[in-house]
Amino acid sequence: MDETIIIIGGLSAGPSAAAKARRVNENVNILLFEKTEYISYATCGIPYSLSGTIKKRDKLLVVSAGLLRDRFNIDVHLNEPVIDIIPSEHKIKTPLGEYQYTKLIYAAGSSPFIPPINNLDQTKDWTNCRTIEEYDKIVADKVVSEKENITILGAGLIGVEVAENLKEIGKNVTVVELASTVLSPWDSKFGNLTESVLTDHGIHVFTNTTIDEIKVENGNIKEVWLSNGDVIPSDYLLMGLGGKPNTAMLASKGAEMLRNGAIKVNAKMETSLPDIYAAGDCASIMNIQTGEHDYFPMGTHANKGGRAAGANAAGGEEYFKGAYRTAIVKVFEYTLARTGLNPRALKMMNQDFESTFIVAPSTPGFYPNSKDMFLEIYYNSNTRKILGAEIFGEKGVDKRIDVISTAILGNLTVDDLPNLDLAYAPPYSPAKDPVIVAGFVSGDKGKNKFQEISVDGLSSILRSETSEKHQLIDVRAPIELERQGMIESSINLDLDKLRDNLSGLDKEIPTIVYCARGLRGYIGAMILENNGFKNVYNLGGGFLTWKKLGMEIKSYSFENK
């Protein structure tokens, strides 16, 4: 009997599996079933089509069914949902018939979570924003052309991208998020930095909030009522919430699952059911760092997992060993990126870690258009192995996160970073790249007695009863203080005059030093350290980070010096 591979799902993982299976095996029959009329389009591009950044809808349609048939000899069944799988008989059922398989690849993706909202069933003025059909509905409902007030529920990757793109075309956009910060997979400080970008661009952001009810008149949304009591005028509601794996069909056949319903797969993408593989948003991913099955649905993993499943189903041998939550998102002129484990995950794992936070220029100050980059790196306190990083900035964030992601896979320590031979020329980076600086600062902290204090740490010290037992020294030049203000209760001692003023300071009490970004604070901390001060801290990220995170500042003038 001829061998047959059946693939369920035709968007990312499915077509990737199909094409790879054909490349591995020219003789096997390959059937792909997709319940809609579309295959292989770029969901990731949908937000950018709303603003016209991607000008033509057709650009989203990456591979056609015709190409899969002609080039890869795949028998594509569009508009034919698979309604049952019978593993014991190696058979699937659709409304049109039954089909035998030798190997089955399950790539049915996930479905969005829709929370209970009063009156949502009274209107059609809402949709998710995940499929091409939903994109078409958004356009047909005149969201792009006519509607003015758009509310988005969920400030994850999709919600934030959609918010940006609708704002770009002049909409009045409100984002409502249940978590305490936008983009909650990131540490809260990075969420707060991002929120300030959204609000600076005129997007209304509500965190710790959800939508309880909508007011509908004649079938049209008029208002959105929030859990905090606020009422937001709205013409349309877009859902940007996470998804639940579409796995009911395999769950009922006894496949091993994660608690959220994702099908457990090994590195060959095999499920616990014989001859059934799974990949993409319906499947688990091995978290390479924790060694546990995890769930972080992304297009990149769907493609890699689909490729491995296709190869193995066709008789080849390919592995998708896993990933570690690397992600990136554009937020207007800024980029936010992450890789690996961040403080929240590390605390949940009870893992001892240290972090280094720096603000470094993307390119040298002498080269035009240099931008600040906020970079925090997390590493094991004992082995100093790099565990994760988060980066926010306007230029070069993508490159640095990928360098650190590569360092994680290579098991590098923070002390290896200064030895990386990174390319340097002024248009691309400073002579000391931010990744190298993160390594230097981490190394200095290891070798010297000075310590870094975070904005949160300093803020809680200043609010605590013991704050008078510290001295807080601003080592910037007075002209900078006059322009930008200073932190309450700090004294200004210009770095270049610090040595002349040591006698007025108390060597015995904890001393916190700060400058604009951290470098001069570090030099100041070392001067104090080398002059016998007992307990010296440098404010990581300096005054710039303090201010960007919305902390209290006071104005300064030469008179109140």
Ligand X SMILES: Cc1cc2nc3c(=O)[nH]c(=O)nc-3n(C[C@H](O)[C@H](O)[C@H](O)COP(=O)(O)OP(=O)(O)OC[C@H]3O[C@@H](n4cnc5c(N)ncnc54)[C@H](O)[C@@H]3O)c2cc1C
Per DSSP, the three-state class of 483 is helix
Q: How far apart are CA 383 and CA 47, in angstroms?
A: 42
Nearer to ligand X (CB atom), residue 283 or residue 389: 283
Does 265 bind ligand X (CB under 6 A)? Our answer is no
Nearer to ligand X (CB atom), residue 154 or residue 521: 154
Does 322 bind ligand X (CB under 6 A)? Our answer is no
The residue from 6, 7, 11, 76 that contacts ligand X (CB under 6 A) is 11
| Residue of closest CB approach to ligand X | 280
Residue 283 DSSP symbol: B
Q: How far apart are CA 80 and CA 94, in angstroms?
A: 6
What is the nearest approach in angstroms of ligand X to the Cβ of residue 174? 19
Q: How far apart are CA 182 and CA 179, in angstroms?
A: 7
Does 9 bind ligand X (CB under 6 A)? Our answer is yes
The answer to whether the CB of 390 falls within 8 A of the CB of 190 is yes
Nearer to ligand X (CB atom), residue 29 or residue 484: 29
For residues 105-134, which are near ligand X according to CB under 6 A?
A: 107-110, 129-130
The strands making up 103-106's β-sheet, listed across from edge to edge, are: 75-77, 29-33, 4-8, 103-106, 276-278
What is the nearest approach in angstroms of ligand X to the Cβ of residue 15? 8
Does 12 bind ligand X (CB under 6 A)? Our answer is yes
Nearer to ligand X (CB atom), residue 163 or residue 226: 163
What is the nearest approach in angstroms of ligand X to the Cβ of residue 8? 5
Of 16, 12, 74, 17, nearest in space to 40 by CA: 12
Beta strands 220-226 and 231-233, pairing class: antiparallel
What is the nearest approach in angstroms of ligand X to the Cβ of residue 350? 30
User: What residues contact 369, with CB distance under 8 A and at least 6 apart?
Assistant: 363, 395
The residue from 5, 14, 193, 401 that contacts ligand X (CB under 6 A) is 14
Nearer to ligand X (CB atom), residue 260 or residue 381: 260
The answer to whether the CB of 282 falls within 8 A of the CB of 263 is yes
What is the nearest approach in angstroms of ligand X to the Cβ of residue 59? 15
The residue from 5, 18, 31, 34 that contacts ligand X (CB under 6 A) is 34
Does 47 bind ligand X (CB under 6 A)? Our answer is yes
Q: How far apart are CA 101 and CA 4, in angstroms?
A: 5
End-to-end CA distance of the chain: 90
What is the nearest approach in angstroms of ligand X to the Cβ of residue 346? 23
The answer to whether the CB of 267 falls within 8 A of the CB of 311 is no
Q: How far apart are CA 402 and CA 81, in angstroms?
A: 38
From residue 282 to residue 321, the character string flagging contacts with ligand X as x (rule: CB under 6 A) and all else as - is ---------------xxxx-x-------------------
Does 33 bind ligand X (CB under 6 A)? Our answer is yes
The residue from 25, 43, 342, 362 that contacts ligand X (CB under 6 A) is 43
Does 263 bind ligand X (CB under 6 A)? Our answer is no
Does 46 bind ligand X (CB under 6 A)? Our answer is yes
Q: How far apart are CA 247 and CA 263, in angstroms?
A: 7
Convert 192-252 into a string of H (helix), E (strand) and C (coil): HHHHHHHHHCCCEEECCCCEEEEEEECCEEEEEEECCCCEEECCEEEECCCEEECCHHHHC
Nearer to ligand X (CB atom), residue 224 or residue 282: 282
The residue from 181, 246, 284, 312 that contacts ligand X (CB under 6 A) is 246
Which residues would be at the binding site for ligand X (CB under 6 A)? 8-14, 33-36, 43-44, 46-47, 81-82, 107-110, 129-130, 158, 246, 280-281, 297-300, 302
